[in-house]
Chains A and B, each alone.
Chain A
Amino acid sequence: MSDKTMTADEVVSRLRSGMTLGIGGWGSRRKPMALVRALLRSQVTDLTIVSYGGPDVGMLAAAGRIRKLVAAFVTLDSIPLEPHYRAARQSGAFELTEVDEAMFMWGLHAAANRLPFMPVRAGIGSDVMRVNPGLRTVTSPYEDPSTGIRETFVAMPALRMDAALVHVNRADRSGNGQYLGPDPYFDDLFCEAADDAYVSCERLVDRFDDAVPQTLLVNRHSVTGVVETPGGAHPTSCVPDHDRDEPFQKLYATTPWPEFTERFLYGDEKAYQSAAQAWHEERR
């Protein structure tokens, strides 16, 4: 079995400016933040980001790396509005494809299934149609048995990506990933919808002997690289390994970006984790 382990910087060395990147997790939950931090250390820019957005989008927006965002929302959950994302939008910093949460999900399904689109009963009647003039509709070839009507749906285009970044609780060296929290989010779909997928994990394991079968979410055929990054989702939640770091998230949301980067993002991942820990110790 091929050993797919690599460092976060090695992952980023395979990414290019102008790529379309999918980022797993949801809001401020189980985000591959160590991989995002590695991306921030690189020169990779001009990205199209596809995300159920949280601080991943906020940080990349603050650093000016986004050319275009595909999203239904950007939030820090306990802090409803992501400040860096807001600032970027209010200054017109990048292009936005704003779709509904379900449209987004069916776009991932279409990409994972190599279909050009999926029909969805969502979007029509809302201003999602106005702000996405490229969205097309499709009429059912079948008459509805009860109404006799052939309904017209939005044809949500496939959200195909050059690469996907996700973070899980456990992974093995060949790229199988396990989640141990309550929600898989859409990480398996992100991996299947991307040409390459990189999985970071809290801990590498040799085997999954006693695993509950349904926890083995990401399968190795859809994974290019595996990175062990304990605390790699910080400050987002990665239960049961750790909850969201609420005080730190608040600090992130209230600190001007240059100040935050100077204090926490000046070095590598180890330096980041030490700086975050030092900040907590100072507060005691």
Chain B
Amino acid sequence: MTDATRPSPAPSTGAPLPDTRTPPLLPPTRAEYCVIACAEAWRDNGEVLASPMGAVPSVGARLARRTFAPELLLTDGEAMLVGPDGTPEGWLPYRRHLTMVTGGRRHVMMGASQIDRFGNQNISCIGDWERPARQLLGVRGAPVNTLNNPVSYWVPKHSTRVFVEKVDMISGVGYDSAAEAGPTATRYHRIPRVVSNLGVFDFATPDHSMRLASLHPGVTVEEVLAATGFGPTVPDEVPYTREPTAAELELIREVIDPQGLRDREVPG
């Protein structure tokens, strides 16, 4: 775990007391709104494993665990289930992790090299699969994840290269593909949200196509549409992603991510 403890107060020296009043908090950065948007994905999930991929979702999951979702389970990135301070509380090697997926007691937030309007996701390759222009990771566990436990997505750089009309290799199954594949595919299929550096998206439309659910403060609908390769549903009134509380900001900045990994993923 990378949590750092807070610095302890300086020992008393008898010298004039330094000014210990807390300076006013700097306003939230874009990365911090993204952290909040990711953390909210795990609200009210109950006693399930939060599996974040990427720096911002990891900070978000740990924030949720430390605040409004203490029931969540987290791993150390290897084979141990750990508490917020890194203390082991369980064993989760890959073989058991895969059973947690198929048992459904898990909510993963995966990355996406491409994602389309129905939530089909690609992490396998770009171009023709037979001889790809760019080989990426491979489908990994995306097919089994999407059919068995809730899968959200995190896109740190929202662009028309990622949000595309049609993905080149369906790795994570979207709503239209699941419906076409039948009841075995739809039974446990759910994509709660897609978080990008511009906003939050969900599939709360009659045909389960993507909808703009909230904008991060400072972002406009026009910006989102210009960076999206298809036309998502845009409600008349688009809310903003909620503000972090002062306590949340302090946790993010001083306890969970003092090294600022979130800012490297989403520069200010």
Chain B residues whose C-beta falls within 8 Å of the C-beta of A53 in the assembled complex: 138
Cross-interface CB contact of B144 among A103, A147, A151, cutoff 8 Å: A103
Given contacts A152-B182, A185-B93, contact A125 B137 (CB under 8 A): no
Contact B95 A105 (CB under 8 A): yes
Bound-state CA distance A277–B242 (Å) is: 53
Q: Which of A126, A153, A183 contacts B171 (CB 8 A)?
A: A126
Bound together, the chains give a CA A187 to CA B80 distance in angstroms of 19
Residue B222 is within 8 A (CB to CB) of chain A in the complex: no
Measured between C-beta atoms, what is the minimum distance from A189 to chain B in Å?
8
Q: Is A123 an interface residue (CB 8 A)?
A: yes
Label chain A's interface by main secondary structure. Answer: loop
**Known A80-B137, A90-B133, A105-B95; contact A126-B79, beta-carbon cutoff 8 A:** no
How would residues 52 to 78 of chain A score, 1 for a CB under 8 Å from any chain B CB and 0 otherwise? 010000000000000000011111000
Known: A102-B141, A122-B143. Is A131-B129 also a contact (CB below 8 A)? Answer: yes
Tell me if B139 and A98 are in contact (CB < 8 A): yes
Decide: A126 and B135 in contact? CB cutoff 8 A. Answer: no
With A86-B135, A102-B102 as known contacts, state yes or no: A147 contacts B183, CB within 8 Å. yes
Least Cβ–Cβ distance between A145 and chain B, in angstroms: 14
Across-interface contacts of A147 in B (CB, < 8 A): 183, 187
| Contact present for B138 and A126 (CB under 8 Å) | no
- B142 interfacial by beta-carbon distance below 8 Å: yes
A122 touches B144 (CB 8 A): yes
Contacts of A185 in B (CB 8 A): 93-94
Is A89 an interface residue, CB under 8 A from the partner?
yes
| Cβ-defined contact, B143 with A103, below 8 A | yes
> Smallest CB-CB separation from B131: which chain A residue?
A92
Contact with A along B172-202 (1 / 0, CB 8 A): 1100011011111101110000000000000
Question: Is residue A81 contacting chain B, with contact meaning CB distance below 8 A?
Answer: yes
Asked whether, in the complex, the Cβ of A102 is within 8 Å of the Cβ of B79, the reply is: no
With A105-B95, A122-B144, A126-B177 as contacts: A90 and B137 at CB distance below 8 Å: no
The reply to whether the CB of A245 lies closer than 8 angstroms to some CB of chain B is: no
In the bound complex, residues from chain B placing their C-beta under 8 Å from that of A125 are: 143, 146-147, 170, 173, 177-178, 180-181, 185, 189
Complex-state Cα separation, A81 to B124, whole angstroms = 11
CB-based contact B93/A72 at 8 Å: no
For B4, list chain A residues within 8 Å (CB): none
- Given known contacts A102-B102, A120-B144, A186-B95, is B135 in contact with A71 (CB within 8 Å)? no
Given A81-B136, A151-B187, 7 other A-B contacts at CB below 8 A?
A98-B139, A99-B139, A102-B98, A126-B172, A147-B187, A151-B183, A153-B184
Question: Residues on B close to A: CB < 8 A?
Answer: 78-80, 91, 93-95, 98, 101-102, 124-125, 129-144, 146-148, 169-173, 177-178, 180-185, 187-189
Pull 29 A–B residue pairs with CB atoms less than 8 Å apart, ordered by A: A53-B138, A71-B138, A72-B138, A72-B139, A81-B135, A89-B131, A92-B130, A98-B124, A98-B139, A99-B139, A100-B144, A101-B98, A102-B98, A102-B144, A105-B95, A121-B148, A123-B144, A124-B182, A126-B146, A126-B171, A126-B173, A127-B139, A127-B170, A147-B187, A151-B183, A182-B91, A185-B93, A185-B94, A186-B94
